Amino acid sequence: MREYLLRHRSLDIVIKLIGVAIVLPLLAATPIFGAFQPFNGWLTGFANAAIFVMLAIGLNIVVGKAGLLDLGFAAFFAIGAYTYAFGASAYSGNDIPFWLMLPIGAIVTAIFGVAIGAPTLRLRGDYLAIVTLGFGEIIPNVLLNSDKYTLGTNGISGLNRPELPIIGVFKSNEPWPWFILAVVLIGVIMIAADRISFSRIGRAWEAIREDELAAASNGINTVTFKLLAFAIGASTAGIAGAFLASKLSFVSPDQFKFSVSVTVLSMLVLGGIGNLWGAAIGAFLLYFVQSILLKQLNEGFKGVPVLGEIDFLQLQYLLFGLALVIMMLRRPGGLFPERRAARHRVGTAKE
C-alpha cells in the first residue's frame, strides 16, 4: 500500500486532502471546538487558513525548492487580488466569471513573478532578499498611490463572487461552498507543486539551490529556471489572491503589508522549508495560533496581574520574530524537515 502510494503521489495527496476535508468539519462540530467559536466560524476559519496554505506552498517553491529568499511575497498576493478586482467587479465594469479569473490571475501574477525575478538573477542570497523585500514594499505602495485607478487606501469593494449551477452565487454567510472550494484549490496546487518537484524541473531547482555554478556547468540554464520558480510561486499567490478577493469581496493595500510576507515565511520556516505538507501544516497551525490561541490567551489571562495587561494579539509579530530566531537556531529544518529519504530512489520512475 505504502509502495503504491509512493508511486502514485497525486492520488496520495487527493486521499489525504479528502481525509482532511472530512475530519476538520467533524472536529469543528465537537463541543471542545464549539467552546471557542461556532461551527460556521470554524468553517470560515478553515477557508481563511487555506489562503495561507496556498501562499505557503507557493513560497515553498521559491524559497524551499529553488533556494531564492523572497521577502516580498505579499506583492504577488496583492497583484492576484487586484487583478481579480479589475476583472470581476462593479467598479471595473468587468464581469469575468470567477472560474476564468482564476487562471487569468495566475497568469498575470506569473508574468509579474518573471518581471520581479529578472533583476534578481545575478544577485547573491542577501541582495536577492533585499530586492524582493523592496518590491514587496513598493508594489502595495504603488497600489496605494495610484488612487485614480485603485481607489488608494479606500480599496475596491463589491467584488463579484463565484457562481455555480446548482448552488448559485457564493455568499459570505454560507461557509460550506468556500470550504470545499478551498480544499479543491489546495488539492490542485499541491498536486501541481508535487509533480513539478519530482521532475527534471524540481531537480534543476535543487541543483541551483545547492550549487549554482555546478548546476550551470551541468547544462542547467539557471536564468530560465529561476524565473520559472518565481513565475510558479507567484501564480500560486495569484490564485490565493483571487480567492481572497472574491471571499471578502474587497481589496485594499493594507491587506498586503510586509507583515504578511513575514507571516508566510514564518509558516514555512515553522512547517519545514522544502516540504510540501510541512508548508501546508505550518501555515494551517500558525493561522490558528494567530486567530484563536492568542485571543484565548487574552481571555484566559484577564485579571491575572502582569499577564493580563498584555495584549497577546499585538504581541503576535513579536512571537513570530522570536519563533523565527529560535527555529533558525535550534531547528532550522522546521517541524517537518525536507525528508531526503523520500526522494527519487532507484525504481521511482514509473513505466
Partner 1 sequence: MTKKQPVLELKGVGRTFGGLVAVNSVDLEVAAGSITSIIGPNGAGKTTLFNVISGIYAPTKGNITLSGALLATPDHKTEREAFLWGAFAIAGIVIGAIAGLAIDAPAGLAGVGAIVSSGAILLAAVSRPAWYVRVCARLGIQRSARPNDVVFLGIARTFQNIRLFKEMSALENVMVGTHARTDVGLFDALLDTRRFRRTEKESESQALTLLQAVGLEDQANVAAKNLAYGDQRRLEVARALASTPKLLLLDEPAAGMNPAETAQMIELIKSIRDKFGVTVLLIEHDMRVVMGISEKIAVLDHGEKIAEGTPAEIRSNPRVIEAYLGRGAASGA
Partner 2 sequence: MGSSVAWAKRNSVFLWVAAVAIAFFIAVPPVQFVNALTLGAIYALIALGYTMVYGIVELINFAHGDVFMLGTFVSLSILIDVIGVTGPITNPIQLILMLVLILAVTMALMGAVGFLIEKLAYRPLRNAPKLAPLITAIGVSFILQNVVQLWKGPYKTTFPQFFPMDAALMLGNVRIGLINILVIVVALILMVALQLFITRSKTGRAMRATALDPTAAALMGVNIDATISRTFVIGAAIAGAGSVMFGLYLGITDFSIGFLAGLKAFTAAVVGGIGNTLGAALGAFTIGFTEVGATVAGFSRWKDAIVFILLVAFLTFRPNGILGSDSSDRA
Binding site for partner 2 (CB under 8 A): 63, 67, 69, 71, 119, 122-127, 129-131, 133-135, 137-138, 141-142, 145, 212-213, 216-217, 258, 262, 265, 269, 273, 310, 314-315, 317-318, 320-325, 328-329, 332
Distance of closest approach, residue 318 Cβ to partner 1, in angstroms? 33
Match 448559485 to its residue by C-alpha cell.
168
Asked if residue 131 binds partner 1 (CB under 8 A), the reply is: no
Cβ closest to partner 2, residue 141 vs residue 224:
141
Contact partner, 262, from partner 1, partner 2, none, Cβ < 5-8 Å per class: partner 2
Asked whether position 219 contacts partner 1 by CB under 8 A, the answer is yes
Of the candidates 88, 72, 190, the residue with the CA atom closest to the CA atom of residue 138:
72
Please identify which residue in the block is written with the cell numbers 467552546. Answer: 35
Site for partner 1 in 330-349 (CB under 8 A): 340, 343-349
Assess 314 for contact with partner 1 (CB under 8 A). Answer: no
| Distance of alpha carbon 347 from alpha carbon 155, whole angstroms | 53
Q: Which listed residue (63, 207, 269, 270) binds partner 1 by CB under 8 A?
A: 207
Answer whether 186's CB lies under 8 Å from 46's CB.
no
Nearest to 22 by CA among 247, 180, 174, 185: 180
CB-based contact 187:15 (threshold 8 Å): no
Q: Which is nearer to partner 1, 94 or 199 (CB)?
A: 199
User: Is 210 a binder of partner 1 (CB under 8 A)?
Assistant: yes
The correct pick among 114, 123, 130, 297 for binding partner 1 (CB under 8 A) is 114
CB of 349 to partner 2, least distance (A): 29
- 3 state SS of 191: helix
Of partner 2, partner 1, none, which one sits near residue 130, judging by CB under 5 to 8 A according to partner kind?
partner 2
User: What gap in Å lies between CA 142 and CA 137, rounded to an integer?
Assistant: 9
Q: With beta carbons less than 8 A apart as the criterion, state whether 230 and 114 touch.
A: yes
CB 83 within 8 A of CB 241: yes
Q: What is the DSSP code (8-state) at residue 153? A: G
**DSSP-assigned letter for residue 250:** E
Residue 351 interacting partner from partner 1, partner 2, none (CB closer than 5 to 8 Å by kind)? partner 1
Interaction with partner 1 in 177-206: which residues (CB under 8 A)?
192, 195-196, 199-201, 203-204, 206
Report in angstroms how near the CB of residue 126 gets to partner 2 at its nearest: 4
Closer to partner 2 by CB, 246 or 316: give it.
Answer: 316
Q: Identify whether the C-beta of residue 227 lies closer than 8 Å to the C-beta of residue 118.
A: yes
Q: Among partner 1, partner 2, none, what does residue 237 contact (CB within 5–8 Å per kind)?
A: none
Beta carbon nearer to partner 2, 199 or 259: 259
Query: How far is Cα 136 from Cα 140, in angstroms, rounded to an integer?
Result: 7
Cα separation, 301 vs 293, whole angstroms? 12
Ordered alpha helix ranges (H), 30-174 = 31-34, 39-59, 74-87, 98-117, 125-145, 147-150
Indicate whether 63 belongs to the interface with partner 1 (CB under 8 A). Answer: no
- Look at residue 206 and give the partner it binds from partner 1, partner 2, none, a contact being a CB closer than 5 to 8 Å depending on partner kind: partner 1
Q: Are 37 and 46 in contact (CB under 8 A)?
A: no
Pull the grid cell for residue 72: 516580498
Q: For residue 349, what is the DSSP state?
A: S
Q: For partner 1, which residue of 55, 74, 228, 270 counts as binding (CB under 8 A)?
A: 228
Q: Which stretch binds partner 1 (CB under 8 A): 208-216, 240-248, 250-258, 323-331?
A: 208-216
217 binds partner 1 (CB under 8 A): yes
In angstroms, what CA-CA distances link 324 with 34, 125, 262, 269, 270? 31, 18, 10, 7, 8
Nearer to partner 2 (CB atom), residue 47 or residue 267? 267
Contact positions vs partner 1 (CB under 8 A): 10, 114-115, 118, 121, 192, 195-196, 199-201, 203-204, 206-207, 210-211, 213-224, 227-228, 340, 343-351
